[in-house]
Chains A and B, each alone.
Chain A
Amino acid sequence: MRYDLIRLPLLKPLLRSRWPQLLFQIIALGGFVLAILAGLVGTPVGNHNFSIVFVWIAWWALLMLIAVPLVGRGWCSICPIPVPGEWLQRGAVLKPSGRGPSAGSGRGLSWGRRWPNRLRNIWLQNGAFALVALFSAVVLTQPRVTGIMLAAFLFIAVGTSLIFERRAFCRYLCPVGGFIGLYSQLAPVEVRVKDPALCVAHTPKTCYLGSDDGYGCPWQVFPGRLMKNTYCGMCGECLRTCPYDNVTVNLRPFGADLQHPTGRRLDEAFKAFILLGSVLAYSAVMLGPWGALKSAAYAVGTAAWLGYALTFLSLIFGLLPGLFWIAVRAGQVFARSNTPTRQTFIAFAYALIPLGLAAWIAFSLAFVFANLSYLWPALSDPFGWGWNLFGTTSMAWTPYLTRVIPALQTLALLGGLMWASATVHQIAGEQSPSVGHASGLSQSLPVILFCLLVTLALLGLLVG
């Protein structure tokens, strides 16, 4: 069931035009540069510094509570991090110079090397996310560290654009990109072709190679074979370069990508464990009452921090995947399934995607609304230098919605568990279509038990 959003008046010209996207990118880039500057030269007090408040409260709220659940990678289409590198790579800010069929491949400052085949996966993104998560207690509270980190993202993105073709940084390195990509499979919006056969027959593949009307897919995706949102940056280039108007934006049921049994991979499965483990750890460290745990996570380099780091890494790379593997194996034994365990493990890990997103939403609700009121003074005084640009500097800290947040967190977690359980049943059906539903149920139950235990742990941490 799909609804073609391009049919809506104004949407097609809005999406095909480069100006709205460029406008949002420039606004986002301005905010991003301000966040870097505030982090580097502003007050060291985190909750009075624009870099911390804007990035980790305002942007995070926008991303986790609205953008990812509703538009998936929509943020990536206006993300400022790859923009300067992309401008340099293309030698243009707005559109191709219009010099024949290869115009869309760009004629700017880039060696245009291919990303190495061995690294064409998201393991580097997984590692990058785990690294940032490991230092999160410092990154989220020290403006200078946030500023340095954001600047590093920008420099790495520019450097990657100058060496490699297209958006290699977004596709293979960006720690946030991997996060958004995995959960974008749940979003009710997708960019897809109307008739794949038309794409197969069409030469040259302007959507991939580019044309006078637009650039070849920056995300290195051939839209004709696009089945999932994971690696589609929703930049709209294929809408511009398709001469047949064969590309569209659909409204679809939530989680439609999870219905596709193809294209499931171990690196993406591990991304699900890393994200689930991280949200469990964050809930304990940042929202729990344990001062010693907070201090350990913050005191980088000390023995306490090393203990925290080892526990955290063991949780995301060992304990969670290990318990999950046991659950999957038990299900196989109960169902007498002959499918290779690795394949079943990878497939079932995709059921953790709705559970993980729900967990992040529940975590973010508490974190964001307790601290959102720091935004108003930070907007008036981004550097903490005593400015009062909008007259909001003296607005007092007030946590919002504290009476209803626990109920909303509970609803989010229960919704995630229900969705995860339904996905487990569906995947069990795919895994053993011939063994019958009783066996499918036997195979599902241990995995559902795993999801239930994770949910109970999150409930204990967040509303307990």
Chain B
Amino acid sequence: MISPHVLPSTLHARLALALAALAVAFFPAPTSLAAPTDRHIHLEASRFAYVPAVIAVSPGDRVTIEFEAADVVHGLYLDGYRLNLIAEPGQTARLTFVADRPGTFRFRCSVTCGPLHPFMIGKLSVGPNWLLYRAIGLSFLSVIAGLPLIKRQALRDTP
């Protein structure tokens, strides 16, 4: 027999969970307090790898990438910013942009450079990766989401 308290408690739990999920998903991320600076990054590409493969800057930074290809022609396409840069071997290509979109973005080779070309990937972090942090929070909530169901069934089974 279903307890008269089951439905409200389950509903309250679900409502609280939904609100928590909304808060985790959409609560505005804190803005960076650091003053924007000029960042110069020397990036070398060779045989399916970028060095450094992971770059971190702050939101608002004016970023200059000096891009050098060590072996064959390589490219650098930056997801999210849709910027493209190509470097001939032995020559340095430059690109300057303002990192005004926070988040973590892949950059990938845009010129066919060999068999593993489609997998030649690097990473640019502009401030904290809030998508990842939110996803981690939502992962825990996803797991908890199952618990009210258990509670409801447990109470339903109570004579």
Contacts and interface: CB of A to CB of B under 8 A. Distances in A.
Given A47-B112, A141-B118, A295 B153 contact: no
Interface residues of B, number: 46
B129 A464 contact: yes
Given A48-B112, A397-B110, A417-B139, A291 B53 contact: yes
Interface in A129-146: 137-138, 141-142
Interface stretch (A78-86, A217-225, A308-316, A437-445): A437-445
A70 B51 CA distance: 41
A425 B150 contact: yes
A463 B117 contact: no
Contacts of A460: 132
Interface stretch (B2-10, B42-50, B87-95): B42-50
Given A46-B118, A455-B139, A463-B135, A289 B54 contact: yes
A287 interface: yes
Contact of A137 (B104, B116, B136): B116
B80 A403 contact: yes
Given A286-B119, A370-B108, A421-B146, A292 B80 contact: no
A376 B120 CA distance: 21
B74 to A, nearest CB: 12
A133 B154 CA distance: 44
A379 B82 CA distance: 25
A418 B18 CA distance: 14
A196 interface: no
Contacts of A441: 147, 150
A288 B121 contact: yes
B142 interface: yes
Interface in A437-464: 437-438, 440-441, 444, 448, 451-452, 455-456, 459-460, 463-464
A291 B50 contact: yes
B146 to A, nearest CB: 5
22 contacts: A46-B117, A47-B117, A138-B115, A142-B115, A287-B106, A289-B54, A290-B53, A291-B50, A291-B51, A291-B53, A295-B49, A370-B106, A370-B118, A399-B77, A402-B105, A402-B106, A410-B131, A422-B149, A437-B157, A440-B150, A455-B139, A459-B132
